[in-house]
Amino acid sequence: MMTIAPTSAPAGLASRLGPLARELGVTTFLGAVLFLPFIGLYSENLTSGLQLVKRWEDWAWAIGAVFVGRLLLIVWREWPGRRRSTGALGAALRPVGSFLRYNMTSIGLIALVLAIAFPLTSFGNRYTIDVATTWMIYIMLGWGLNIVVGLAGLLDLGYVAFYAVGAYSYALLATEFGWSFWVCLPLAGLFAAFFGVTLGFPVLRLRGDYLAIVTLGFGEIIRVILLNWVPVTHGPNGVSAIPRPSFFGFEFSRTASDGAMTFHQLLGIDYSPLHRVIFLFYVILALAVLTNLFTQRIRRLPVGRAWEALREDEIACRSLGINPTNIKLSAFALGAMFGGFAGSFFATRQGFISPESFSFMESAVILAIVVLGGMGSQVGVVIAAFVLVVMPEIFREFEQYRMLVFGAAMVAVMVWRPGGLLAYRDPTLRLGGKKGRVAPEGDPA
Amino acid sequence: MPDPVIRPDTPLLEVEGVRTRYGMIEALRGVDLSVHAGEIVTLIGSNGAGKTTLLNTICGEPRAHSGTVRFAGQDITRLATDRIVRLGIAHSPEGRRIFSRMTVYENLQMGALIADPAHFQDDLRQVFTLFPRLEERREQRGGTLSGGEQQMLAIGRALMSRPRLLLLDEPSLGLAPLVVRQIFAAIQEINQRQGMTVFLVEQNAFHALRLAHRAYVLVNGLVTLSGPGSELLANPEIRAAYLEGGH
Ligand SMILES: Nc1ncnc2c1ncn2[C@@H]1O[C@H](COP(=O)(O)OP(=O)(O)O)[C@@H](O)[C@H]1O
Ligand SMILES: [Mg+2]
């Protein structure tokens, strides 16, 4: 490869200079047009009213940045000897992906042991455990949505609705009736699953994009209901003073209420507020592991197989005696159930919830975790949740750039790893080139 | 609902006056035919005659807007597809439609989804005996199989549900003549060894008619001719319409 490229590339490059220059010109022009309203003209809210500020210098800088960026991209792309090696990121991740795939069980176990040990080590302070707990919540949500999107191939843009149903059902049952977390947890899952079936039944006949729109709407409807059904949900004020979970009846507090025993008294150790944080981490870890094991298991059962088959070819499935609606409903309900579990955990951890926590952005992040991780990949979800949730947390100072990096990361993945960071199931096909990608004829659009 | 009394000469599959529409277009205009247990029955017809529509109508999607389809004496015209398939009709659809991301083995498992798991190993053995190529390629992904292998897999997958009636939609489509011969030999073997009833829909009239006990000719949604396979094969009209150029 190296020997051919230097001789052939310059000649080829010379003939392509024209198109390359045009590409550069077009990009710069587009940049100029786009940045004119975004950057060049800026409306400022002054006391005297809305004022149009013209920022020609900033505009020029932005155009310059586009020009230089495109130039660098072209040089990088056309660099002799590099042209044939497709996507450096892809090439770098491929062996990582297959290594992970073949050692999945041991890696999973090691990760689990590390996760269990982590709060007890010197790394486990309040901040790190909190961040890890958040990570775990998103892993669990990712794994739950993965059943729907990754395995069954149903694009659900309103997953947060089930999270909200779980959170509110625990919050309300606990504050209104004083039910304990451990009773409400399965109930929250059931409620969410029930909502999943209720929504799914009418809409699962819809295909791809229509389903996405309806689920998007459903997510918003749930949020709007939470916001406006004030007598029950307390509207925008949310539900506060949600009871924290106890350790099988032993509270995590300095002094026990009315004669009961607290957790630290039970173990005969000094009280530390960290106990509850650690305990919460273990709870969500257990829930996430449960989600994972369940998914691993069900994937091998007929219903799990049917999900995958359905994603590939609905007509073939029907001719094999599978009832698509029931199978899709089961995926929807199970995904919703795990969303509900995660929701009730979220409620007990925060102690306060309001509709704000369940905006569309939340659905988008969870979906991004699944897609970025590589639809259907369990490990991919862990990594993607780290990238999308933990990294922004760590780099909180760069808050302003979060969305920018987020967008750039998504674009990068779509360009280099269209199947997600760790594409599930088809590494050999992709390595083999186009041949493996043949779609079944008459693919249902 | 009490089972209707099944007389010994009741056909396994009975299609009576079936009409099927796509919107305003009537693709089947009153089709009558029957398939008896143990037979291979072929339906030949040129492209667009309505062959696929008939098989799909038997499976309930699209539904016949008039006429009846009976399976083993039971009216199945209004049943849902999955119910029909579970009664014992396996359908290898047009274009094979195997699961390209799943392995050969997983595809066969999918076929067995509605069957009693106790028979799985036996049935798998039988499919692999019929198509040794599939056993060699057990772990290969469906999408990477050759056309002929995909067709074998489609038939094998259909057999895994232990059907009483096997519906095959143009198994020779797009295959090389040598492979076509292998596929048809396998169909004959399924019929002779396992006593499987086969309803085969084909454009490739020559092979299909040689194989068939009885055959029908479908033209524009209507059955125009029927008779023993060998008889139709000798019919000059058929030869002119479907066998020109020879095989
Ligand atoms: N989904 C459909 N919608 C509308 N028309 C269809 C559809 N499928 C088939 N047809 C029409 O019905 C007729 C019969 O088609 P088909 O059963 O596929 O024929 P064959 O399988 O014999 O080639 C054709 O005229 C075809 O255009
Ligand atoms: Mg056809």
pLDDT tens, residue by residue, B33-62:
999 999 999 999 999 999 999 999 999 989
A302 and B113 within 8 Å at the Cβ level: the answer is yes
How much is the pLDDT for A434? Answer: 36
Determine the Cα–Cα distance for residues A73 and A75; give it in Å rounded to an integer.
Answer: 6
Q: Give the domain range for residue A103.
A: 93-244+281-416
**Residue A166's Cα: distance from chain center in Å?**
18
> Under an 8 Å CB criterion, which residues of B touch A?
59, 61, 80-82, 85-86, 90-93, 95, 97-102, 106, 109-111, 113-114, 141, 143-144, 157-158, 161
Average pLDDT, chain A: 81
Ligand 1 near B51 CB (within 6 A): yes
Select from B81, B85, B144 the Cβ nearest to the Cβ of A436. Answer: B144
**Number of domains chain B contains:** 2
- Residue A261, in any domain of the structure: no
Same domain, A104 and A237: yes
Same domain, B55 and B169: yes
Model's pTM, two decimal places?
0.77
Q: Does residue A82 or residue B175 have the better pLDDT? A: B175
Ligand 1 near B56 CB (within 6 A): no
CA distances from A256 to A179, A266, A280, A345, A352 (A): 18, 11, 19, 23, 22
Ligand 1 atom nearest residue B62's Cα: 1
A429 and B101 within 8 Å at the Cβ level: the answer is yes
Ligand 1 near B49 CB (within 6 A): yes
For residue B168, the chain A residue with the least C-alpha distance is A319
Nearest-CA distance A419 → chain B (Å) = 13
Residue A13 in this model has a pLDDT that exceeds 90: no
Same domain, B64 and B173: yes
Cβ-based contacts of B85 with chain A (< 8 Å): 318-321
Ligand 1 atom nearest residue B23's Cα: 4
Ligand 1 near B53 CB (within 6 A): yes
Determine the Cα–Cα distance for residues A195 and A385; give it in Å rounded to an integer.
Answer: 25
From A411-415, B138-142, B229-233, the region with the lowest mean pLDDT: A411-415
Same domain, A49 and A29: yes
Q: Give the domain range for residue B109.
A: 97-163
Ligand 1 near B47 CB (within 6 A): yes
- Residue A345, in any domain of the structure: yes
Mean pLDDT confidence for A220-241: 91
Determine the Cα–Cα distance for residues A332 and A373; give it in Å rounded to an integer.
Answer: 20
Residue B148 in this model has a pLDDT that exceeds 90: yes
Contacts of residue B206, Cβ cutoff 8 Å, sequence gap at least 6: B233, B242, B243, B246, B247
Residue A3 in this model has a pLDDT that exceeds 50: no
Same domain, B115 and B209: no
What's the pLDDT tens digit per position in A332-368?
999 999 999 999 999 999 999 999 999 998 999 999 8
Nearest-CA distance A162 → chain B (Å) = 30
Burial class (CB in 10 A: 0-12, 13-18, 19+), A13: middle
Whose structure tokens read 């699961």? B99
- Residue B3, in any domain of the structure: no
Mean pLDDT confidence for B67-72: 96
**Number of domains chain A contains:** 2
Same domain, B57 and B102: no
Select from B82, B92, B98 the Cβ nearest to the Cβ of A321. Answer: B82
Same domain, A307 and A207: yes
What's the pLDDT tens digit per position in A247-301?
777 777 777 666 667 777 777 777 778 888 889 999 999 999 999 999 989 988 8
Ligand 1 atom nearest residue B22's Cα: 4
Residue A86 — very low, low, confident or very high, per pLDDT cuts 50/70/90? low
- Residue A166, in any domain of the structure: yes
A320 and B110 within 8 Å at the Cβ level: the answer is yes
Residue A443 forms contact with B (CB below 8 Å):
no
Ligand 1 near B60 CB (within 6 A): no
Ligand 2 ion: nearby residues, β-carbon < 5 Å: B 51-52, 94
Same domain, B61 and B169: yes
Closest ligand (CA of A442): 1
For residue A373, the CA-to-ligand 2 centroid distance in Å is: 40
Look at residues B143, B41, B148, B54 and name the one whose alpha carbon lies nearest to residue B93: B54
Same domain, A208 and A341: yes
B98 and A316 within 8 Å at the Cβ level: the answer is yes
Beta-bridge mates of residue A53: A42
Same domain, B105 and B221: no
> Which among A82, A114, A140 is the end of a domain?
A82
- Residue A9, in any domain of the structure: no
How much is the pLDDT for A93? Answer: 64
Residue A318 forms contact with B (CB below 8 Å):
yes
For residue B155, the chain A residue with the least C-alpha distance is A320
Residue A381 in this model has a pLDDT that exceeds 50: yes
Same domain, B209 and B113: no
Q: Which amino acid, one-letter code, is at A60?
A: A
Q: What is the DSSP string of A70-101?
A: HHHHHHHHH-TTTTTS--HHHHHHHHHHHHHH
Question: Dihedral, CA atoms, B6, B9, B11, B15, nearest 10 degrees?
Answer: -100
How much is the pLDDT for B99? Answer: 94
Residue A426 — very low, low, confident or very high, per pLDDT cuts 50/70/90? very low
Beta-strand relationship, B74-75 and B66-71: antiparallel
Ligand 1 near B240 CB (within 6 A): no
Whether the bond into B163 is cis, omega within 30 of 0 = no
Whether the CB-CB separation of A315 and B93 falls below 8 Å is answered with: yes
Mutate to test the interface with A, among B53, B108, B113 (most CBs of A within 10 A): B113
What's the pLDDT tens digit per position in A49-79?
777 888 888 889 989 999 999 888 888 877 7
Residue B182 in this model has a pLDDT that exceeds 80: yes
CA distances from A183 to A180, A187, A263 (A): 5, 7, 20
Select from B85, B141, B144 the Cβ nearest to the Cβ of A320. Answer: B85
Determine the Cα–Cα distance for residues A345 and A355; give it in Å rounded to an integer.
Answer: 16
B113 and A316 within 8 Å at the Cβ level: the answer is no
Whether the CB-CB separation of B172 and B200 falls below 8 Å is answered with: no
The CATH number that applies at residue A381 is 1.10.3470
Residue B244 in this model has a pLDDT that exceeds 70: no
Closest ligand (CA of B95): 2
> Which among A28, A50, A82 is the end of a domain?
A82
Ligand 1 near B50 CB (within 6 A): yes
Look at residues B132, B141, B234 and name the one whose alpha carbon lies nearest to residue B186: B132
Nearest-CA distance B240 → chain A (Å) = 31
Beta-bridge mates of residue B92: B168
Residue A413 — very low, low, confident or very high, per pLDDT cuts 50/70/90? confident
- Residue B184, in any domain of the structure: no
Same domain, B41 and B145: no
Question: Dihedral, CA atoms, A401, A402, A404, A405, nearest 10 degrees?
Answer: 110
- Residue B4, in any domain of the structure: no
Ligand 1 near B45 CB (within 6 A): yes
Same domain, A53 and A107: no
> Which among A82, A113, A137 is the end of a domain?
A82
Same domain, A63 and A102: no
Look at residues A359, A131, A130, A348 and name the one whose alpha carbon lies nearest to residue A240: A348
- Residue B1, in any domain of the structure: no
Determine the Cα–Cα distance for residues A227 and A354; give it in Å rounded to an integer.
Answer: 8
Look at residues B191, B234, B194 and name the one whose alpha carbon lies nearest to residue B210: B234
- Residue B17, in any domain of the structure: yes
Residue A31 in this model has a pLDDT that exceeds 50: yes
How much is the pLDDT for A430? Answer: 32
Determine the Cα–Cα distance for residues A149 and A48; give it in Å rounded to an integer.
Answer: 51
The C-alpha angle B21, B26, B31, rounded to 5 degrees, equals: 95
For residue A445, the CA-to-ligand 2 centroid distance in Å is: 19
Nearest-CA distance B150 → chain A (Å) = 11
For residue A424, the chain B residue with the least C-alpha distance is B101
- Residue A11, in any domain of the structure: no
How much is the pLDDT for A107? Answer: 82
Among protein residues, the one with the nearest Cα to ligand 1's atom 11 is B27
Same domain, B157 and B168: no
At CB < 8 A and 24+ separation, what contacts does A405-410 make? A406/A368, A409/A372, A410/A368, A410/A372
For residue B161, the chain A residue with the least C-alpha distance is A320
Question: Dihedral, CA atoms, A302, A304, A310, A316, nearest 10 degrees?
Answer: -20
Mean pLDDT confidence for A161-171: 95
Whether the CB-CB separation of A251 and A362 falls below 8 Å is answered with: no
For residue B208, the CA-to-ligand 2 centroid distance in Å is: 15
Contacts of residue A263, Cβ cutoff 8 Å, sequence gap at least 6: A246, A247, A250, A251, A252, A275, A279
How much is the pLDDT for A285? Answer: 95
Same domain, A128 and A47: no
Same domain, B22 and B81: yes
Determine the Cα–Cα distance for residues A203 and A124; give it in Å rounded to an integer.
Answer: 45
Whether the CB-CB separation of B212 and B229 falls below 8 Å is answered with: yes
Nearest-CA distance A3 → chain B (Å) = 33
Cβ neighbours around B68 below 10 Å, total: 14
Residue A308 forms contact with B (CB below 8 Å):
yes
